[in-house]
Amino acid sequence: MKFNKILAFAAAFTALAACSSNQIIEDFESGLEKWTIEGDSFEISNASEELSGFEGFSYLRSSSDDSKVGSAVSQPFQIKSDYINLLVAGPKSSMGRSALSVSLVVDGEDVLASGSIGKDEKTFEWLSFDAAMYKGKTAQIKLTAGEPMRFGTRTFPRGFIAVDQIQQGKQRLSSFYPEYKVSVKVDKKYILIPAANNGSNSRLSVMVDDQNILGIAQSAKPATDRIDYYIPVNVEKYSGKTVDVILTNIYEEDMVFGAIKTSDEMMNEYNEQYRPLVHYSPEFGWTNDPNGMVFTPQGEWHLSLQYNPYGTSHGNMHWGLATSKDLIHWTDTPAIIAPDELGSIFSGSAVVDHDNTAGFGKDAIVAIYTSAGQGQRQSIAYSTDGGYTFTKYDKNPVLADPEQRDFRDPKVNRIGDQWVMALAVGQVVRFYGSPDLKNWSLLSDFGTGMGSHAGVWECPDLMCFDYNGQKKWVLFVSINPGGPNGGSITQYFIGDFDGKRFKADPLPYPLWVDEGVDNYAGVTFNNTTGRTVFMGWMSNWSYTGQTPTLAFRNSMTLPRDLSLKSNGKHLILSSVPSPEVYAARAAERAIEGVSSSQSFSIPSILENNKGAYEIDATITPDAKGEFTLTLSNSKGENAVFCFDTKSQKLSLDRSKSGNVDFSASFAQKPVVVSLNPRNEYKIQMFVDRLSTELFINDGDMVFTNCVFPSEVFNKFDIASSNCKISVKDVKVYELK
């Protein structure tokens, strides 16, 4: 014990000698009487095995018990040097850790604060406050361990903070910047910030004339040891001005340090390996649900989307916007609705207010979305320029229910003489009615005891079809998790809607809009008279955060026209490729089929195959049995679709489809679904680099699944083991 003490003393002495210009403000070796302690969280801790890197024997530490909250404030001292350096352990950046902070208080006000520091929370690391501008002033160090952070009903664990060896001196002892600020003279279109999927968790602000042009600070992942992509911040509007880019939680040794630059290009390779060619994917950033899809009065297709403009994972939810004249080729435009004090912008819809019911103007496009902040509430925004820029309504939110935690994804349609909103509320769909899109009253609830409740209910849509002269209504409800093959999936109900209440026909629910695992949160475009056009998000919540793309993540399905048809037993929803899809066919190749054979092969689907194509064929098995459709490449990777007409199952094995290890839930098990027995199977297989969409028998069924082969699949085989097959009407199209 004595020996240890001497050793530790020697170590402390050496450290002191090494930086003799440092003036110690506090080393916690002699109690806490100079500190003001509030609450029951902070106390002196003595050397223990738990933490390392402190000096001497003791340090100040808050409790790890989140129920103990409080603060510790040092006695005042005068700032005489450029830097205040202190050793800190504990608060590594994460949601819950924002309840911990260490700050420099000057003349009674917090002027510099760090909520996060540390590559490893158990090791003390230097934190340096740049205090040069406060020289001569009186300062204090303040630590806080606050109430754990809550978001909705979730509570984020907080943990502890510890400090030691507070001193001031000429040198910055830390390579860590709680706030890293770079001033950039705007001479080009974009400021580019190097970032990576394994980057640090940081908050990004871009300040022009004291205003954050991002609205509020956004989360970002600046590059530490590799660069996956550049975050493009469009600063065109501020040409000639000086913009301050501020990132939190950066180390000098991080790759982003000193590497923020300007450019007229986005600097992200558009044509990266898995970039779809005929499906919408954002040029940069993350997308999930399609939102606010509308055919505008100006004749354009507008696809808004759940969008993160500052990274490739879910977060900073905005509504992005892509526009198209042909439903296939899309142009990104700047995000149209950004997060605000009411919260992130979650899913919703857009309508054309032909009769100016809301008072925003005739034919105004009104977006109805969920503000997801402290609770979920519905807000609106309107556009009078054909859907390119939106103004938020100044009395948002327009619909709230503090009792409800999951209260989101408003889909609004004009039904009769009112607007009807379908909203996901916990485990039901709630319908609200409104004369003006601003005042909403409850009409009814649907869903208790109906369909699948294996996950939370999300993204409803109510649509009306004409079936043999009769009006029938279909209600979509997405669920996550709980899909029969894992993760997220969309179910539907068929029934009647009387303007107030939806009543489902007795059918063998759950029924799925798409049997595959990669079509979620899909809804239909508004303002498409005479047709019902659908698009879904082509991914699955169970692995979407890990899929192997770089500058963008996720794409949408092909547009599909929906209708009702009979499957011989009852009505079902039919999805077929929208006619616009066929306009993307570039080169057509007819291929001779086979009759009564065990195999059929297209050894080279396309010369110079860029990855987007359609294969059509009609396959007739001569008896009940199994036949497979295999897409493969020269590396031996494949995706095998098996039609088992005996057990009436269709499956997809993607275990050898290429890049599969990014998530255990991606390919461990085959995707297995029911197959309607038919004499012949007319298939349309659409492949677009990372996706396969298999349409069977003109809307009988659709099966959408992603794959990530390391080389384009350019070979297609049909093979049967226990029956013979005839294959006819074979066509291959390149899609462009």
- Dihedral, CA of residue 7, residue 11, residue 17 and residue 20, to nearest 10: -130
d(CA 617, CA 198): 44
d(CA 518, CA 539): 4
Distance (Å) of CA 159 to CA 52, 68, 145, 720, 726: 17, 10, 9, 59, 66
In terms of CB distance, is 459 or 727 closer to ligand FRU?
Answer: 459
Q: Which residues contact 17 (CB under 8 A, 6 or more apart)?
A: none
Provide, rounded to whole angstroms, the least separation between the CB of residue 626 and ligand FRU: 35
Residue whose tokens read 């009407």:
729
In terms of CB distance, is 117 or 367 closer to ligand FRU?
Answer: 367
Q: Which helix (H) or strand (E) holds 218?
A: strand 218-220
- Dihedral, CA of residue 328, residue 329, residue 334 and residue 335, to nearest 10: 20
Provide, rounded to whole angstroms, the least separation between the CB of residue 377 and ligand FRU: 12
d(CA 332, CA 303): 9
**Can you say how many angstroms the Cα of residue 677 is from the centroid of all Cα atoms in its chain?**
38
Which amino acids are annotated catalytic?
289
Cis peptide before 481 (omega within 30 of 0): yes
In terms of CB distance, is 224 or 306 closer to ligand FRU?
Answer: 306
Provide, rounded to whole angstroms, the least separation between the CB of residue 459 and ligand FRU: 6
**Percent of the chain that is helix, strand, coil (3-state, to 5):** 5, 50, 45
Provide, rounded to whole angstroms, the least separation between the CB of residue 411 and ligand FRU: 11
In terms of CB distance, is 200 or 349 closer to ligand FRU?
Answer: 349
Given the rule CB under 6 A, which residues bind ligand FRU?
A: 288-289, 306, 317, 346-347, 370, 408-409, 458-459, 521
Distance (Å) of CA 174 to CA 19, 87, 114, 250, 260: 14, 9, 13, 11, 21
Residue whose tokens read 């097959």:
725
In terms of CB distance, is 143 or 322 closer to ligand FRU?
Answer: 322
Longest dimension (CA), the chain: 95
Report the DSSP beta bridge partners of residue 231.
193
- Contact indicator for 341, 286 with CB cutoff of 8 Å: no
What does the block give as tokens for 499?
């303007």
Provide, rounded to whole angstroms, the least separation between the CB of residue 545 and ligand FRU: 12
- Contact indicator for 375, 399 with CB cutoff of 8 Å: no
Provide, rounded to whole angstroms, the least separation between the CB of residue 185 and ligand FRU: 36
In terms of CB distance, is 104 or 521 closer to ligand FRU?
Answer: 521
d(CA 68, CA 148): 10
Provide, rounded to whole angstroms, the least separation between the CB of residue 544 and ligand FRU: 9
List phi, psi (to 5°) of 664: -65, -25
Residue whose tokens read 């050898």:
656
Provide, rounded to whole angstroms, the least separation between the CB of residue 604 and ligand FRU: 38
Provide, rounded to whole angstroms, the least separation between the CB of residue 4 and ligand FRU: 54
Q: Which residues contact 211 (CB under 8 A, 6 or more apart)?
A: none
Q: Which residues contact 424 (CB under 8 A, 6 or more apart)?
A: 406, 407, 408, 409, 430, 456, 457, 458, 459, 460, 477
Going by C-alpha positions, the residue among 224, 267, 326, 275 that lies closest to residue 533 is 326
In terms of CB distance, is 125 or 458 closer to ligand FRU?
Answer: 458
